[in-house]
Amino acid sequence: MQGQLRRALLIICLILLGDALVAAEPTTSADKKVSNKKGVGLGRFPDWLGLNELKELNVAWFYNWQSTNSKFSTTIEFIPMLRAGKAGASLTRDDFILGYNEPDHPKQDNISVKEGLAQWAKVTAKGKFVVGPAMCKDPVNGDWLPDFMKAKPKVDAIAVHWYKGVSAKKFIEDMTEIHKTYDLPIWVTEFACQTSESSKDEPKKFTQAQVNQFIEDSTRWMEKTSWIQRYAWHSSGNGTSCLYDDKGRKLSATGNAYAEVNKDSKKD
């Protein structure tokens, strides 16, 4: 009887020890779930950027300012965009569709509000959840999006582009104002400290430490804010807003900083 009791106690001790060892194992990045909000736009490097580079950024979704992704096959979610004036005939109706890209910019979609409204049915026909046109200029005080929204088109979320430096406080204030104005969720489809043009002129305008802190603070806030549904860093071609090292085709210091934030969507 005593022998059986000793064996039972030994078995219990071994089970408890095994549980303790499992609990003590460090969590690796592979064990973490990528935030479903975190994404990236792949417009600058379509000729070589592929699945490996995309995976290195630890993103859950991506887009390329076009309606199809023909460069590579991936399980990472692709969100199509229907540009102004495009038919998108080959694009089947999907869950999400991004609307025009900067219709208020002469070098982008460049159409009037009247034209935008007339073509909007082409966009809404391609998606169950429709993200509105993304502005180059002020989406609240500018003269395009406010007039567009007055017509009450089907828009399920507001797309925002933001390039105003390294102040997360300013970023949060701007997003809050946009949300308050339209009372809709927000997709930050482009954000960075500098535009591509600005980074050409002043590639070292902001230090790496400043950019890293901005990425950490802004994305942490977006993860905690329910009405921020998606966000995507926009890589410039130069300087500290660039995600990639052109020569080595590797993530830059900024790319690594963006890759590290919010690997786990439950991060505090």
How many separate domains does the chain show?
1
Task: Look at residue 190 and tell me if it is in a domain.
Answer: yes
Task: Look at residue 243 and tell me if it is in a domain.
Answer: yes
More confident residue, 246 or 168: 168
Full residue range of the structural domain in which residue 120 is found: 30-260
Residue ranges in the chain assigned as alpha helix (H): 2-24, 51-56, 113-124, 145-150, 168-182, 196-201, 208-224, 253-260
Phi, psi dihedral angles at 81 (to 5 degrees): -125, 140
Task: Look at residue 18 and tell me if it is in a domain.
Answer: no
Task: Look at residue 206 and tell me if it is in a domain.
Answer: yes
Judged against a pLDDT cut of 80, whether residue 92 lies above it is answered with: no
Task: Look at residue 153 and tell me if it is in a domain.
Answer: yes
Judged against a pLDDT cut of 50, whether residue 29 lies above it is answered with: no
Judged against a pLDDT cut of 80, whether residue 266 lies above it is answered with: no
Task: Look at residue 14 and tell me if it is in a domain.
Answer: no
Over range 202-208, report the average pLDDT: 95
Rounded Cα gap, residues 116 and 186, in angstroms = 20
Over range 96-102, report the average pLDDT: 96
More confident residue, 245 or 228: 228
- The closest alpha carbon to 189, from 14, 12, 39, 13, belongs to 39
Longest dimension (CA), the chain: 90
Task: Look at residue 17 and tell me if it is in a domain.
Answer: no
Task: Look at residue 105 and tell me if it is in a domain.
Answer: yes
Q: For position 212, which CATH number holds?
A: 3.20.20.80
- What is the average pLDDT score of the chain? 84
Q: For residue 116, what are the contacts with CB-CB under 8 A and spacing of at least 6?
A: 84, 100, 103, 133, 144, 148
CA atoms within 13 A on the CB side of 216: 10
Over range 94-120, report the average pLDDT: 96
